[in-house]
Structure 1
Amino acid sequence: MKSEERHELLAMLARESYFERQLTLSSGRTSNYYLDCKRTLYLPRGAYLAGELVLELVKAAGVEQLGGMAVGALPVTDAVMAAAYRNGVDVRGFFVRKETKQHGLQQMVEGAFRPGLKTAVIDDTNTTGGSSLQAVAAMREAGANVIAAITLVERGEGAADAFAREGLKYSWVFTAEEVRAERAAHPVAG
């Protein structure tokens, strides 16, 4: 991975997206810290850096399309699509709805999805992998050949084992511990 870009994005995540407080995660677990990656992914430079770095994982996984559960996967998927265009990489993007849309085409999987393609489930942060596995089930039902899971930040709380049980190769750009260590090394005032 491009080390200068990786360190710049790590610093942005630590500064913009890391919070220490007691709260409940989407997995239902409680935590004393939270990573709101969208706060970084919706900054122009953050989106650029995340797209470039995650695209490296996408290429290494050999997938032809990627997507994940709305809302978590949307900004990182969009960032990867822009990076793929800049770098001439042929990959498709899509997202999975939490429930089937009741109008239009009434689909769970939306975007440039194609059945049969080698697919990665993507997310901004993974704890247990629960949301991503819900997306995987919908992707497989729609005909995807899901072979990989990719995330921007891996919290190290069970997702790797869950993805292994599903036969998915799992990769990430950062661990939560890296983000926490960066924040501790460079505290943010206020």
Structure 2
Amino acid sequence: MSKLIQLFFFIIFISCSAQKNISISFTIENKETLNNYLIDNEVKLEENDLYTIKDFNSFVYLNNNDKLQVPEILFFNSNGYLVKNRFNDNECSQVINEIEKINSLKFNKNVTINDWLKYISPLHQDLTEKNNIYVIINWAKFVDKFNEQSFEWYNQLKKSNSNSNLKINCILLNLDIQEKWNLTEQQKKALNII
């Protein structure tokens, strides 16, 4: 799909959001601004867990496929399949507390971790290991008030993982617009970034 068509779809998304009286203020972020935000919010994380969306085209794709939800947590079993589609808050905490049982839960063979990994990239270094459990937790500065739940899940998962023999690749995925995307002026205008 050409960049112009993708931009068109993204503009439609922005228009639809405006009709719902949702105001999203995008700013361009980078490694330093994200790390400072996490420090300011007292999120203790392993820096190699921090991921961002790879590029503008990936952002448009994830948006158009309803994958930019915050808070959102996705569990993938050791075969890389998505475990259930969506959980409520209590179920998420239960799955985290019983992470050892993740491979025995119902899964969706149509959605795999690779469906996500091709659209995201590590902010620091990729230390994920194949055949391990993957957990993706979404967060974004542009929806600041919803991040608390995401960070709580992350902390629960790290605590649970320290008491587990199971190897977990935890991805704390930031959904903000990134400086490294080198947006064109047209893309910035579509996102209302000056």
Q: TM-score, normalised by structure 1?
A: 0.34
Work out which structure has the larger RCO, using CA pairs closer than 8 Å and 6 or more positions apart in sequence.
2
**Structure showing the higher strand proportion among its residues:** 1
Q: TM-score, normalised by structure 2?
A: 0.34
